[in-house]
């Protein structure tokens, strides 16, 4: 057997171990180099990411992706701010705006609002400097890792201000990172400029609350009718709760949701130790109570006044410049406009109009029942249709009469005004036209005679549906014109104790026209006072003809009437169309002893910071030359309208006390009802009727001014005098005529014939006339009156010869 080669068999073993050892070293080296490569890769990636982020940050910072305001620009943040109109007492009457917003200072906000806001929207507000890293990390973990979508956005209040003030840009998939970074930059700058308190105020002035309202001031007013300083814990929680989704949690539209959200906010206030647990339970158990109030230029206490004022204010803005040279903007510059209108008077007037017109409309509808005012006059509908915007547009587009007619008879969903509440109906435009044609409307104006200050202005029953202002509308004035006739007669030599025949006459020089009384009684003789009290038409025309039409027109002009006055005998009966504003002004001139004060309503305009930009001068008194004694006699005569005449229901039905004078007015076919009311401190006027004079009551029972218009004035004064703050006004007294003139006014208002009723009457008349003649000789007025009488007689002779 060959020998065993044991040594040669063992030799490869060490070599094998060396190879194994070298392999391990190579593997370790390879692992280390791979780790280095991975680390290097991540380092490079981090550097690249940092560089990319730095470039991205720089591009956002420099505004490449959208406007980023500088620190200097953020120093002068200005929200578009509504201009506000205030009453004489300083109460808000309305706003003009693009965004319904009014800014307030931090001190003017209740701590309840601040606590609710911080607890709910940014609990670490006082700890961060605009960016809350803790909140961002929480959102990152809960949203991206735990997929919890209820974690919120992690934005601080400062970031939300940035979002509200500088709207986000749409940049596709880059929208979120660009906008978030941009808002963080702005938030950081805001925190460097403003204190925490200023940031809170800025946020609460910018945030929207739905219904086109912005800021806590308007929201508190809208939902609770109070200032933000007076909000309670539960009210503050309601408003703060709306910020999450202002329509979804709107307390008017969705009270249950709003209450649930309110309680969540109160829970957050407990969690953040602004309330104890017991306080939280108490507030969470309270019912949701609103005092919803809408105030704008077309809603609120004085919408017609606001609309009337707007063109004048826009002209002022166009003609007045800001410090930078730009004209003021009524809708964005937050002007504060102070007026003469009394908030309370305005409220009483609006309430009186609405209360009575609701009832009167029911009477009117029942009066016509199944019939229609246009049933015998179909041209009323045709004329009304042609005045609509729909008709004009279709006509301009070349549509045929048949096409237009068909369009007016197609049914649509629409909302119609109704006194019991707006109605959503399926109706045709023609149905809508008929509905509104049947609606009666009204105008009311109150003016202070001594100053000319407008105290109340109601142009209609509802500005949302009826834009036409009936204070400035010219309508036939009826018997409210008669005081001008009698005043002119006194000015031209006729006496208050003269008697005039009630005989019905035919005026042949005026197309055989003959006046009629409201009652077919043409017997006896009336004094001026008696004829005015009973509104006797025949006597008014006779007095006008004896005085002279030209003289009556001249007197009306002196009183402030600028409307066209037809020079016919019927002028005495109020056939002239005159605005309510001019009529109230004329009566105010009579009450002011013949001194005309132009009606005015603007007091001052201030900028948003309260700096006075303009104070409006009060009108200069204009002496008309009318004898104050004659004015006082007319007022005395108008008192008899209330005590013994057509206006007596102001006392009996509405219990209006104190000195009161007035005059009713009714026009032909009962188309217009008027009442003018006078107290020592205020002149009021009211008109009632349809926008179309062809639509009216069919009888004098309902169509007279004493039934249509007087009740509104009665309700106004009843409300005014029932208020303890104004009760004293009814104790003021009219200025009285001299005793000798009062004696003349005290003659019997009516005589069956001109024979003296007694020896006392005869003696009083003789001695009264003797004293008057002596007074006239001493003052020279007797000669003046005699000359006017002679001149008028000559003119009358020539008129008859024509």
Segment 672-715, tens digit of pLDDT: 999 999 999 999 999 999 999 999 999 999 999 999 999 999 99
Pair 737, 716 in one domain: yes
Q: Which of 387-391, 593-597, 654-658, 679-683 has the lowest mean pLDDT?
A: 387-391
Mean of pLDDT values over 309-319: 96
Sign of the four-CA dihedral 496, 501, 505, 508:
negative
Q: In sequence order, what E strands does 118-245 have? A: 213-214
- Residue 501's DSSP bridge partners are 525
CA 140 to chain CA centroid, nearest Å: 49
Tell me how far apart the alpha carbons of residues 481 and 575 are, in angstroms, rounded to a whole number: 9
Residues 553 and 412 in one domain: no
* 763 and 649 assigned to the same domain: no
Q: Which residue has the higher pLDDT, 642 or 144?
A: 642
Most confident of 32-36, 295-299, 608-612, 626-630: 626-630
CA gap 650, 731 in Å, rounded:
17
Q: Which domain holds residue 407?
A: 374-419
Number of domains in the chain: 3
650/518 same-domain check: yes
d(CA 387, CA 269): 59
> Is the pLDDT at 65 greater than 80, yes or no?
no
pLDDT at 749: 96
33 has pLDDT over 90: no
Shared-domain flag, residues 649 and 769: no
Kindly tell me if the per-residue pLDDT of 499 is higher than 90. yes
pLDDT of 778 > 90? The answer is no
Domain membership flag for residue 589: yes
User: Which of 419, 452, 481 lies at the terminal end of a domain, its last residue?
Assistant: 419
Cβ contacts of 447 within 8 Å, gap of 6 or more: 453, 454, 455, 584, 585, 588, 599, 682, 683, 684
- Mean pLDDT across the stretch 620-638? 97
Structure tokens, 437: 């044609």
Cβ 349 vs Cβ 458: under 8 Å? yes
315 domain-assigned: no
pLDDT for residue 357: 98
Q: Mean pLDDT score of the chain, rounded to an integer?
A: 87
pLDDT-above-70 percentage for the chain? 85
Residues 458 and 577 in one domain: yes
If you average pLDDT over residues 246-255, what whole number do you get? 95
Say yes or no: 730 and 760 in one domain.
no
Question: How many CA atoms does the CB half-sphere of 719 hold within 13 Å?
Answer: 17
* Structural domain includes residue 703: yes
Q: What is the pLDDT of residue 26?
A: 58
Record the pTM: 0.80
For residue 199, the model assigns a pLDDT of 92
According to the model, what pLDDT value does residue 155 have? 83
> What does the pLDDT look like over 251-281, one tens digit per residue?
999 999 999 999 999 999 999 999 999 999 9
Identify whether residues 740 and 770 lie together within a single domain.
Answer: no
pLDDT band at 519 (very low <50, low <70, confident <90, very high): confident
**Residue 728 — φ and ψ, nearest 5°?**
-65, -20
Segment 792-796 mean pLDDT: 47
pLDDT beyond 60 at 324:
yes
Please say if the pLDDT value at position 526 is more than 90. Answer: yes
CA distances to 105, 288, 290, 408 from 223, rounded to whole Å, are 20, 11, 6, 39
Distance CA 784, CA 685 (A): 34
Torsion angle (degrees, nearest 10) of CA 698, 701, 705, 707: -120
Examine residue 219 and state whether it is found in any structural domain, yes or no. Answer: no
Per the listing, tokens 């303009």 go with: 614
CA distances from 450 to 263, 438, 558, 589 (A): 55, 39, 17, 9
- Can you tell me the mean pLDDT for 147-155? 56
Output the pLDDT for position 371: 85
Q: Which residues contact residue 43 at a Cβ distance below 8 angstroms, ignoring those fewer than 6 apart?
A: none
Question: What is the mean pLDDT of the segment spanning 413-437?
Answer: 91
Residue spans of beta strands (DSSP E) within 126-241 = 213-214
Higher pLDDT, 440 or 154: 440
Residue 182 resides in a domain? no
Same domain for 669 and 561, yes or no, is: yes
Is residue 594 within 8 A of residue 556, CB to CB? The reply is: no
Closest to 627 in 3D by CA, of 784, 479, 497, 734: 784
pLDDT at 637 over 90: yes
Secondary-structure breakdown of the chain: helix, strand, coil percentages, each rounded to the nearest 5: 50, 10, 35
Cβ contact 745:637 at 8 Å: yes
Q: What is the pLDDT of residue 23?
A: 57
pLDDT digits (tens, 9 = 90+) for 156-197: 898 888 887 777 777 776 666 777 788 888 888 888 899 999
Quote the pLDDT of residue 757.
Answer: 46
E strand spans, 448-573: 454-458, 474-476, 499-501, 525-527
673 and 528 in a single domain? The answer is yes
β-bridge partners, 675:
664, 686
Judgement on whether residues 650 and 772 belong to the same structural domain of the protein: no
Question: Could you tell me which of 263, 243, 304 has the C-alpha nearest to residue 456?
Answer: 304
Residues 6+ away with beta carbon under 8 Å from 434:
372, 374, 381
Helix-helix angle 580-591:628-644, to 10 degrees: 110
Q: Which residue would you say has higher pLDDT here, 62 or 606?
A: 606
| Residue 14 confidence (pLDDT) | 53
Long-range contacts of range 213-219, CB-CB < 8 Å, 24 or more positions apart? Answer: 213/100, 213/101, 214/79, 214/99, 214/100, 214/101, 215/79, 215/101, 215/102, 215/103, 215/104, 216/104, 216/109, 216/113, 217/101, 217/102, 217/103, 217/104, 217/108, 218/82, 218/100, 218/101, 218/102
**Interval 188-236: pLDDT, tens:** 888 889 999 999 999 999 899 999 899 999 999 999 999 999 999 999 9
Is the pLDDT at 30 greater than 60, yes or no? yes
428 inside domain: no
The reply to whether 80 falls in a domain is no
Length of the chain: 802
For the chain, percent of residues with pLDDT exceeding 90? 69
Evaluate whether residue 214 is within a structural domain. Answer: no
Yes or no: say if 423 and 415 are a contact pair by the CB < 8 Å rule: yes
**Distance between CA atoms of residues 388 and 381, nearest Å:** 11
Residues 607-630, mean pLDDT to the nearest whole number:
96
Average pLDDT for residues 641-667, to the nearest whole number?
96
Is the pLDDT at 12 greater than 90? The verdict is no
**CA-to-CA dists, residue 598 to 491, 562, 589, 592, 633, angstroms:** 22, 12, 9, 12, 23
Gap between the Cα atoms of 458 and 443, Å rounded: 6
585 or 183, which is more confident: 585
pLDDT 10s digits, 479-497: 999 999 999 999 999 999 9
CATH code of the domain containing 616: 3.40.710.10
Phi-psi region of 91 (alpha: psi -120 to 50; beta: other; left: phi over 0): beta
Q: What's the pLDDT at 68?
A: 78
Residues 455 and 500 grouped into a single domain: yes
pLDDT of residue 756: 55
Q: How far is it, in rounded angstroms, from Cα 602 to Cα 305?
A: 11
What confidence tier does 9 reach under pLDDT thresholds 50, 70, 90?
very low
Identify the residue with better confidence: 7 or 691.
Answer: 691
**Residues ≥6 apart with Cβ < 8 Å to 731:** 658
């Amino acid at each position: 057997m060959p020998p065993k080669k044991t040594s040669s068999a063992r030799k490869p073993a060490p070599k094998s171990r060396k190879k194994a050892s070298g392999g391990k070293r190579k593997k370790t080296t390879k692992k280390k180099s791979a780790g280095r490569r991975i680390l290097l890769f991540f380092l490079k990636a981090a550097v690249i990411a940092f560089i990319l982020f730095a470039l991205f940050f720089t591009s956002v910072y420099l505004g490449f992706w959208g406007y980023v305001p500088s620190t200097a620009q953020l120093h002068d943040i200005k929200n578009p701010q509504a201009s506000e109109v205030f009453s004489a007492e300083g109460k808000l009457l309305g706003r003009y705006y693009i965004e319904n917003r009014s800014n307030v200072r931090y001190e003017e906000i209740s701590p309840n609002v601040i606590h609710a806001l911080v607890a709910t929207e940014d609990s670490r507000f006082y700890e961060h400097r605009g960016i809350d890293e803790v909140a961002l990390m929480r959102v990152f973990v809960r949203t991206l890792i735990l997929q919890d979508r209820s974690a919120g956005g992690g934005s601080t209040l400062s970031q939300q201000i940035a979002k509200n003030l500088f709207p986000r840009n749409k940049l596709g998939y880059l929208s979120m990172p660009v906008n978030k970074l941009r808002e963080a930059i702005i938030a950081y700058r805001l925190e460097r400029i403003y204190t925490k308190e200023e940031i809170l105020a800025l946020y609460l002035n910018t945030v929207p609350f739905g219904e086109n309202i912005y800021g806590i001031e308007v929201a508190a007013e809208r939902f609770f009718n109070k200032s933000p300083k007076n909000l309670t814990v539960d009210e503050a929680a309601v408003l703060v709760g709306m910020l999450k989704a202002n329509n979804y949690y709107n307390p008017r539209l969705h009270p249950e949701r709003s209450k649930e959200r309110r309680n969540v906010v109160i829970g957050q206030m407990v969690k953040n130790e602004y309330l104890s647990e017991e306080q939280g339970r108490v507030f969470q158990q309270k019912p949701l109570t609103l005092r919803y109030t809408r105030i704008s230029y077309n809603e609120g206490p004085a919408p017609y006044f606001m609309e009337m004022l707007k063109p004048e204010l826009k002209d002022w803005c166009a003609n007045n410049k800001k410090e930078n040279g730009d004209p003021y903007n009524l809708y964005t510059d937050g002007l504060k406009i102070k007026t003469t209108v009394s908030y309370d008077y305005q409220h009483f007037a609006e309430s009186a109009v609405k209360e009575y017109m609701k009832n009167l409309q029911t009477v009117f509808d029942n009066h016509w029942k199944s019939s229609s005012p246009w049933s015998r006059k179909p041209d009323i509908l045709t004329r009304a249709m042609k005045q609509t915007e729909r008709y004009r547009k279709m006509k301009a587009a070349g549509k045929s009469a048949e096409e237009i007619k068909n369009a007016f008879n197609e049914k649509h969903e629409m909302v119609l005004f109704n006194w019991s509440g707006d109605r959503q109906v399926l109706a045709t435009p023609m149905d809508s036209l008929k509905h509104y044609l049947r609606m009666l409307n009204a105008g009311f104006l109150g003016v202070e005679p001594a100053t000319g200050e407008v105290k109340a202005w109601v142009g209609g029953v509802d500005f949302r549906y009826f834009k036409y202002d009936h204070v400035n509308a010219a309508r036939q004035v009826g018997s409210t014109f008669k005081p001008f006739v009698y005043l002119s007669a006194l000015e031209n030599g006729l006496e208050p104790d003269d008697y005039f025949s009630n005989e019905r006459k035919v005026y042949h020089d005026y197309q055989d026209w003959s006046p009629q009384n409201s009652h077919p009684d043409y017997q006896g003789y009336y004094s001026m006072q008696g004829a005015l009290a009973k509104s006797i038409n025949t006597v008014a025309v006779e007095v006008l003809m004896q005085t002279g039409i030209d003289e009556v027109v001249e007197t009306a002009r002196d009183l402030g009437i600028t409307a066209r006055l037809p020079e016919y005998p019927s002028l005495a009966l109020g056939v002239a169309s005159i605005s309510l504003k001019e009529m109230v002004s004329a009566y105010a001139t009579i009450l002011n002893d013949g001194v005309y004060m132009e009606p005015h309503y603007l007091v001052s305009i201030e900028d948003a910071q309260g700096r006075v930009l303009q104070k409006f001068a009060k009108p200069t008194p204009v002496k008309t030359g009318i004898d104050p004694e004659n004015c006082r006699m007319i007022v005395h005569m108008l008192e008899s309208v209330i005590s013994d005449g057509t206006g007596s229901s102001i006392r009996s039905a509405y219990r209006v006390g104190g000195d009161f004078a007035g005059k009713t007015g009714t026009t032909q076919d009962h188309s217009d009802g008027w009442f003018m009311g006078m107290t020592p401190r205020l002149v009021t006027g009211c008109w009632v009727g349809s926008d179309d004079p062809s639509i009216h009551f069919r009888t004098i029972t309902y169509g007279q001014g004493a039934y249509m218009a007087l009740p509104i004035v009665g309700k106004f004064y009843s409300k005014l005098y029932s208020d303890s703050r104004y009760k004293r006004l009814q104790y003021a007294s009219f200025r009285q005529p001299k005793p000798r003139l009062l004696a003349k006014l005290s003659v019997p208002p009516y005589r069956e014939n001109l024979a003296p009723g007694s020896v006392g009457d005869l003696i009083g008349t003789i001695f009264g006339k003797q004293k008057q003649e002596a007074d006239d000789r001493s003052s020279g007025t007797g000669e003046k009156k005699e000359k006017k009488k002679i001149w008028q007689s000559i003119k009358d002779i020539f008129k008859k010869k024509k």
